[in-house]
Each structure stands twice: as structure tokens, then as C-alpha cells.
Structure 1
Amino acid sequence: MPRALVDTTVLFAAAYRRDSAHEDALPILRGIDTAELPEAVILDYVLAETLNGLTTHAGHDASVDFLDRVEENTRLHVDSLTADAFATAKGLFRQHKRFSFVDACIVAYMQMEGLGYLY
């Protein structure tokens, strides 16, 4: 089964019970855990956004707990952009006003790795 990329919105909502999308996001992570959904890739930038959001809204302990769970989960893979993908991301960011830089990184990673799934 191919891998899928997971965005900050899903990770944060699944981890933070007060998020309005919590009930929608939780089944995605559970599906990854149970192999009903593909294994997931989390870009380091996405992980940083998620951890920063959790620290702000839920506290440092909750953020560290989430980091530990990500590292312990064999179906979640944290990855970084290559130099070529980073160059592509910078170009995408400059070209598309509505992209955040992390969004540009996600698109560049998906293009370089040939991924077709994003949660």
C-alpha cells in the first residue's frame, strides 16, 4: 500500500480534543494505526507546526507526549525535504500567494516522492 502525507490540520485536531475537527481527524490516525489506511509520512515542518500548536493550546507535556507517540509508531514516518525538494518548495511559495511555506513544502515533497494521498 502506498504511503500518504499527513498535514498539520489532521495531526493537531487528532491530538487536541478541543479542536472542532477532533472527531473527524481521529479516525484518520486510527486508520493509519490499524492499517486500514496507508502508512503515513509527516514532514519535519508539519511536525514542528503541530508541536508548536499543541504547546500553545495544550501545554508542553501534551506536546512532548504527542512527539513520543509519533516516534513510537512504526506506521508514522518523519521525513525531511531533500535540497531539490526544498528548492521546489521555495519556487512554489513564491509563485502561489495562498500557500503557506509549509504547504509549498508538502506539495514539493508529494511531487518529488510521487505521493498521491494527503490527509
Structure 2
Amino acid sequence: MPRVLIDTTVLFAATYRQDSAHDKALPILSGIDTAALPEVVILDYVLAETLNGLTTHAGHDAAVDFLDRIEENARFHIESLTADAFATAKALFRQYEQFSLVDACIVAYMQNEGFGYLYAFDDDFDAAADISRLTTATNPYQPQ
């Protein structure tokens, strides 16, 4: 099955019960776990951002538990940018005021690797015309 990228906004919200988007995010992670949704790629930058947020808001143990669950789950793939993709990310960061550097890294990776879909609640990604942002537990590769 093709893969989809996933943003911090979904990972953090699914894991941190007090997040306002928790109830929207949890079905996405559950769908990935049960294979109802595609496997996902988590950029190492996104993983770091998620773990930092969890450490701050939920504590070190919660962050470590999340890291362990991601590493043990074969449906989650942690990837890194190539040097060329990181150069593209820096250019995107300079070009789009609304992108954080991590957002720019996600977009650069998607463009470099030919991904079209991203699970994310952050509407800043809508500035990238070639990305379809998914905000629900939707499988973009299955006809509706």
C-alpha cells in the first residue's frame, strides 16, 4: 500500500488527551494501526518536534512510551531528508512565511519523494499546491 506523511499536529493530538484535536487525531492513528489507513512516514524532524511537545506537556515517560510504540510498529516509518531535500526545505522556508522549518522539511520530502498526501491539522500546508492535506481518518487510496 502506498504511504502518506504525518505531521506533528496529528501525532501530538492523538497522544496527548488534553489536546483539543485529540478526538479527531485518535481515529487516524487507530486506522494506521489496523491497516484501514495507509502506512505513514514520520520525518525525524516531526518525531523530534512531537517528542519535545510530549515531554513538555505530558512528561518524559509519556514521550518515551510514544517513541517506543512508534519504533515497534511496522506501519510507521521514520525517515530523514537527503542533503538536496534539506536545501529545498530551506528554500521553501524562505519562500513561505507561514511554514515553520519543519513544515518546509515535510513539503520538501513530499516533493522529492513524490508523496501527495499528508495527515495534518495545520492549514499552513495548504499553501503548497501539490499537497493534499487529510484531517480525518480517510484512506486517499481507496475509492469512496
Normalised-by-shorter TM-score class: over 0.9
Equivalent residue number for residue 9 of structure 2: 9
Work out the CA distance in 1 between the residues paired with 2:90 and 2:61.
Answer: 33
Deviation of 1:117 after TM superposition, in Å, equals: 1.1
Equivalent residue number for residue 40 of structure 1: 40
Deviation of 1:114 after TM superposition, in Å, equals: 0.5
Work out the CA distance in 1 between the residues paired with 2:91 and 2:97.
Answer: 11
Equivalent residue number for residue 110 of structure 1: 110
> What letter is aligned with 1:3?
R
Deviation of 1:51 after TM superposition, in Å, equals: 0.2
> What letter is aligned with 1:15?
T
Secondary structure in 2 aligned to 1:77? strand
Normalized per residue, which structure has more helix? 1
5 Å-filtered alignment, 1:1-119, equals 1-119=1-119
Root-mean-square deviation over aligned CA pairs: 0.5
Work out the CA distance in 1 between the residues paired with 2:6 and 2:98.
Answer: 19
Work out the CA distance in 2 between the residues paired with 1:73 and 1:20.
Answer: 25
Work out the CA distance in 1 between the residues paired with 2:51 and 2:19.
Answer: 14
Work out the CA distance in 2 between the residues paired with 1:107 and 1:117.
Answer: 10
Secondary structure in 1 aligned to 2:81? coil
Secondary structure in 2 aligned to 1:78? strand
Work out the CA distance in 1 between the residues paired with 2:61 and 2:105.
Answer: 28
Q: Which runs of 5+ in 2 are unaligned?
A: 120-144
Deviation of 1:95 after TM superposition, in Å, equals: 0.8
Work out the CA distance in 2 between the residues paired with 1:64 and 1:34.
Answer: 22
Q: How many residues align?
A: 119
Work out the CA distance in 1 between the residues paired with 2:113 and 2:31.
Answer: 22
> What letter is aligned with 1:42?
I
Deviation of 1:116 after TM superposition, in Å, equals: 1.1
Secondary structure in 2 aligned to 1:118? strand
Q: Which runs of 5+ in 1 are unaligned?
A: none
